Structure 1
Amino acid sequence: MSTHDKLLLRHHHPFIAFWLARVCTASGFQMLTVAIGWHMYQLTGNVLDLGWVGLVEFLPRLLFMLHTGHVADRYDRRKVVALCQGGQALVAIALVLGSSSGEVTREMIFVLAFLLGTARAFEMPATQALLPSLVPTALFPAAVAASASAMQTATIVAPALGGFLFAFGSLWVYAPTALLYVVACALMLSLPRRQEPLTQERPSLHSLLAGIRFIRSRRDIFGAISLDLFAVLLGGATALLPVFAKDILLTGPWGLGLLRSAPAVGALLMAFWLARFPIERQVGRIMFISVGVFGVATIAFGLSTSFWFSLLVLAILGAADMISMVIRGAFVQLETPDAMRGRVSAVNGLFIGASNQLGEFESGLTAHWFGTVPAVVLGGVGTLLITGAWIKLFPTLAKRERLHEPPTQVNAP
């Protein structure tokens, strides 16, 4: 066990409760997403409805972006997170009651998906802004990696578990999901209440836009967030995995499941490594290299006709993405004053969500225009071009030595 691990475990019991709450919440969401999608398809048999469910879940993040950050900065963050987890538990309970009475409808699922997305929109910035107060600055990169491992663990295990339980009936998924959210809520409320005051600024257009202004005024933060946006936007190939599984790699649903799990496996292994051996030097250079590896792995996957080689490069892709995510996440949080973390996290969360959602759309559109393989290869090339361009546009970020150094440049780009 490394020194960082010992310090996290011995002196920071609140972090363990935080980590367990993240595991429960992430697992509950993954199980609920699988069950809702399958339930909707059983009801309507319309593939388009599955796309609408995803869009409805994402919509609150866009609608309430400015308000979610302000709430995270104005109120007790642990209570905000716990309230959101309680709201998601109520969504699961509503599905339990609807399933037991056989009254779940297409419209009901859309309404509950919107409520689920709303709860998650308020939960995410408060959760991200809460973590820095639980551990000292020196341990924060390790804590980010450990927190990310919770998400990756849930991504690997929970969807398969949700699908397996749904075979016995929807109640077998919705009821355990509600329990997971209740446990997460209790764990979050067990965290110590922060003593220092948060922002007392009243809600206004000026305060709501403060997160955007802050990001624009910190050139390195703006570069890190926008690099992730465009790199994932161009390099995302997950939406095309069914096509690769069926038509290129000539495998079945089991192969598609392995392909979907491979990036999460690589990311989880890397998260465990970074939790034990945090990156402390040359963080800017390592972040750009990891994004470049992400692009190369994307190209390799697009050109591969071997199932096992495709699994390997997808695992490498996930590991590289995890390095970039941990560095970026720790850097942005450490460079942001505590009173601003909620609003900055809300903007960052919108960028991440937009890159994932629009990245799937971009992949589908380019595949329609140019073909599946050219679309993925072009996306990987685009990621490499973006990486090179961002090194030129944000030289101080590329040369950054440590995560917690004072920024050397603060002028807006």
Structure 2
Amino acid sequence: MSAKDPYAALRYKEFNIFLLVRFAMVFAWSMQFIVIEWQVYSMTKDPLSLGIIGLMEVIPAVSMALFAGHVVDQKEKRSLLVKCILGFSVISFGLFLLSWPEIINGVPSKSILYGIYFLVFLGGFVRSFIGPTIFSLVALIVPKKIYPNAATWSSSTWQVASVVGPALAGFSISWIGVHWSMCLVFTFSLIALIALFRISKKPILNPKLGEPVMNSLKEGLKFVFNTKAVFGALTLDMVAVLFGGAVALLPIFAQDILHVGSQGFGVLRAAPAVGASITMLGSAYFPLHRHAGKKLLWAIFGFGVCIIVFGLSTSFWISVMALFISGAVDGVSMIIRQTILQLKTPDHMRGRVASVNSMFVGSSNELGAFESGFTAKWMGTVTAVVFGGAMTLFTVGLTSIASPSFRKLDLTKDLEEHEADI
């Protein structure tokens, strides 16, 4: 089977089931986050409250990330993912109850708000485990020679779910309300759980089972910081996501600047994921491993430009187009980063490396939401978004000058070596 086959990974039955599980979980998670954002801002009308949502998730996600990576490398991945999805289901059911008019009738708004923050906080713990577990599991389902192809399809599935989830969230809030929208989230988490049992348990490929926690964590951190391609990609993407977190402020743009309501909010929220999905589907036919460093730098530069355009726009469709293009170039960034991680990371360290990745990039989404909410409160919404885009451009320029080796990064040789190992 050729690694150049654009459908190589899809020829494995368990990988298709894995994609279904990932789609259902990302759909549920992204839809839940949008519904929460809408409800919280509708309750408070305070930009900082949107930042607090991100902060409540990022604190446990970062504090537990390295320990979670150690656990993932020591445990059977399928069973661990079952526990993660069960945890998410409990949280989504709790949010469903907190949005039930018959239950919360007469309950002070602050109590409901704090309850939402608490459940989001618990969700941060779940997320610290779910990312490394998924990253490690996919490497046990497909052979090494098609890791880049599997990463493309996995990332594409993530983005498609990120399109449907936010878009449906915006429409469902308008059509059936927050309460039944949360019921839909809970339903999809159960679908993911049921589908997951059709994937068999996998072997634990770790020669150091039972290794002391601190030694394990040090080894994982040492690998990331000593592998320039991995460290450079994670650092660059982290800063870009941190300062380019305009999507966290979309409820404000939809309600107070563009005046497009919940349906327009859904379109705005889905636009980046639509762009990224198109990029990722195209990348199955046009691989991005050649001159990966330059492509990653240009992609994040384009992302920063789009964020600035979005911040300055007062036209709904210009805003949608800016977000769409930002998603398209962000899709390039995501594929290159995932390919670097899959090709450069040894099997027995995948959990720990994925955990560091979640600290650098995954958690920077939530930290970026807090940064955006704080700066919007301090300097105004539009200024905050433009500032974030400008900082992204500055970071790309600095990285390009300070790290010529990263600028020249090419993954062709690494891919050929993996193919030779089969």
- Check whether TM > 0.5: yes
Instruction: Report if the CA contact (8 A) 1:125-1:345 is conserved.
Output: yes
Query: Secondary structure in 1 aligned to 2:157?
Result: helix
Give 1:113 shift.
Answer: 2.7
Residues 136 and 394 (structure 1), Cα distance of their counterparts in 2 relative to 1, 3 Å cut: farther
Q: Which among 122, 132, 135 is matched to residue 125 of structure 1? A: 132
Distance in structure 1 (CA, Å) of the matches to 2:7 and 2:358: 31
Residues 298 and 365 (structure 1), Cα distance of their counterparts in 2 relative to 1, 3 Å cut: same
1:114 matched to 2:121? The reply is yes
Residue 352 of structure 1 is matched in structure 2 by 361
Of stretches 352-361 and 149-158 in structure 1, the one that deviates more from structure 2 is 352-361
1:172 matched to 2:180? The reply is yes
Query: Secondary structure in 2 aligned to 1:405?
Result: helix
What residue identity is the alignment partner of 2:326? Answer: L
Residue 68 of structure 2 is matched in structure 1 by 68
Distance in structure 2 (CA, Å) of the matches to 1:281 and 1:49: 43
Show CA shifts across 1:342-386 (max 9, x none).
111111101113422333343445555655545434433332221
Give 1:331 shift.
Answer: 0.4
What residue identity is the alignment partner of 1:188? Answer: L
For residues 134-145 of structure 1, what are the structure 2 equivalents within 5 Å? 134-145=141-152
Give 1:279 shift.
Answer: 1.8
TM-score, normalised on structure 1?
A: 0.85
For residues 10-409 of structure 1, what are the structure 2 equivalents within 5 Å? 10=11, 12-37=12-37, 47=46, 51-95=51-95, 99=100, 102=103, 106=112, 108-162=115-169, 164-165=171-172, 168=176, 172-195=180-203, 197-198=205-206, 199-242=208-251, 244-245=253-254, 249=258, 251-367=260-376, 372-402=381-411, 405=414
Query: Secondary structure in 1 aligned to 2:414?
Result: coil
What residue identity is the alignment partner of 1:140? Answer: Y
Q: Percent identity?
A: 38
What residue identity is the alignment partner of 1:334? Answer: L
Instruction: Report if the CA contact (8 A) 1:297-1:317 is conserved.
Output: yes
Distance in structure 2 (CA, Å) of the matches to 1:20 and 1:383: 34
Residues 236 and 116 (structure 1), Cα distance of their counterparts in 2 relative to 1, 3 Å cut: closer
Instruction: Report if the CA contact (8 A) 1:263-1:318 is conserved.
Output: yes
Distance in structure 2 (CA, Å) of the matches to 1:170 and 1:260: 17
Distance in structure 2 (CA, Å) of the matches to 1:244 and 1:363: 13
Of stretches 198-207 and 209-218 in structure 1, the one that deviates more from structure 2 is 198-207
Query: Secondary structure in 1 aligned to 2:203?
Result: coil
Query: Secondary structure in 2 aligned to 1:192?
Result: coil
Of stretches 131-140 and 283-292 in structure 1, the one that deviates more from structure 2 is 131-140
Distance in structure 2 (CA, Å) of the matches to 1:328 and 1:93: 33
Q: Which runs of 5+ in 2 are unaligned?
A: 416-422
Distance in structure 1 (CA, Å) of the matches to 2:16 and 2:152: 13
Instruction: Report if the CA contact (8 A) 1:291-1:324 is conserved.
Output: yes
TM-score, normalised on structure 2?
A: 0.83
Residues 173 and 370 (structure 1), Cα distance of their counterparts in 2 relative to 1, 3 Å cut: closer
Query: Secondary structure in 1 aligned to 2:135?
Result: helix
1:8 matched to 2:9? The reply is yes
Residues 137 and 101 (structure 1), Cα distance of their counterparts in 2 relative to 1, 3 Å cut: same
Q: Which runs of 5+ in 1 are unaligned?
A: 407-413
What residue identity is the alignment partner of 1:297? Answer: C
Instruction: Report if the CA contact (8 A) 2:25-2:189 is conserved.
Output: yes
Give 1:339 shift.
Answer: 0.9
Residues 163 and 304 (structure 1), Cα distance of their counterparts in 2 relative to 1, 3 Å cut: closer
Instruction: Report if the CA contact (8 A) 2:246-2:372 is conserved.
Output: yes
Distance in structure 2 (CA, Å) of the matches to 1:147 and 1:32: 21
Query: Secondary structure in 2 aligned to 1:344?
Result: helix
Residue 411 of structure 1 is matched in structure 2 by none
Query: Secondary structure in 2 aligned to 1:279?
Result: coil
Distance in structure 2 (CA, Å) of the matches to 1:36 and 1:280: 37
Of stretches 278-287 and 255-264 in structure 1, the one that deviates more from structure 2 is 255-264
Show CA shifts across 1:262-313 (max 9, x none).
2111111112112333223111221111112112222333444443233222
Give 1:137 shift.
Answer: 3.2
Query: How many correspondences in the alignment?
Result: 403
Query: Secondary structure in 1 aligned to 2:5?
Result: helix
